[in-house]
Amino acid sequence: MYLIKVYEKLYNAYGEQNWWPVDKEYHTKNKSDPREEIVIGAVLTQNTNWNNVEKALENLKKINALNFKAIIKMPVNDLEEVIKPSGFYRLKAKRLKNVCKHLYPVDVVERIEREELLKISGVGRETADSILLYAGKRPYFVIDAYTKRLMLRLYKVNGSYEDLRKLFEENLPKDVKLFQEYHALIVKHAKVHCSKKPSCEGCPLANNCQYFLSSGEYLLTSTGI
DNA sequence: CCCCAGGCCGCGC
DNA sequence: GCGCGGCATGGG
């Protein structure tokens, strides 16, 4: 089944996800740039539940620091306390300051090369592509643990990050909004049905899924997927 | 008590 | 190039 058909099935099942920016009004009130919130969120959510990230974002908002300038200026110890709920807070405080510095002013995300982004300490492939796609509105497909698991189950495809990214980018129209929604839908789907312990009942992709169609033997041989 | 979450880095091999 | 330990909070 084509990847665009998978997208349509997910879209019909879950609807628009509209991930970023989370708070559309905050930015008009505070005359800040939503792209900065996206970059900050992308760093804070590394291996972290979005619920925890939201707490950290709220803390930043309260002190008017949900922007690059404030984060660059803030002493790292203070930043640690503010973002503590998002976990790995000592690590992330350093990464955040570093990323904000390199992407200041935020228009940089419109033109920076992917390779240059990846040189920034604290920015790996997924964070880079999230920044490019959601803040820079550029057609890079974001791959994450959920996407890898879905591809493995759906098609028995097991590839590296770059393999999978190219698979999506070469088999879909290069449409930013499509890429944004598709990635968000995969995350949603992985939470609802395609979790580590899958719940295939009612899954919109079940009829096209290799895992579901051969679940007996697969379950026994694929612990940890 | 356990496991997990929208990864990344530095290291050894 | 790949696998592994460390990083930390909050929810189930």
Query: What are the sequence ranges of the domains in chain A?
Result: 3-14+143-221, 32-110
Cα–chain center distance at A79: 22
Fold of A3-14+143-221: Endonuclease Iii, domain 2 (1.10.1670)
d(CA A220, CA A194): 17
Torsion of CA A26, A30, A32, A37, to 10 degrees: -40
Per-residue pLDDT of chain A (225 residues; tens, 9 = 90+): 799 999 999 999 999 998 888 888 999 999 889 999 999 999 999 999 999 999 999 999 999 999 999 999 999 999 999 999 999 999 999 999 999 999 999 999 999 999 999 999 999 999 999 999 999 999 999 999 999 999 999 999 999 999 999 999 999 999 999 999 999 999 999 999 999 989 999 999 999 999 999 864 444 444 443
**Contact in structure between A78 and A55 (CB atoms under 8 Å):** no
Common-topology check for domains A3-14+143-221 and A32-110 = no
- pTM reported for the whole predicted model: 0.94
> Quick check: A18 CB within 7 A of strand B?
no
Give the closest nucleotide to A38 (alpha carbon vs C1').
B6
CATH, range A32-110: 1.10.340.30
Number of alpha helices (DSSP H) and beta strands (DSSP E) in chain A: 14, 0
Q: Are A85 and A75 contacting, i.e. CB atoms less than 8 angstroms apart?
A: no
Nucleotide nearest to A92 (CA to C1'): C7
Q: Is the CB of A47 under 7 A from strand B?
A: yes
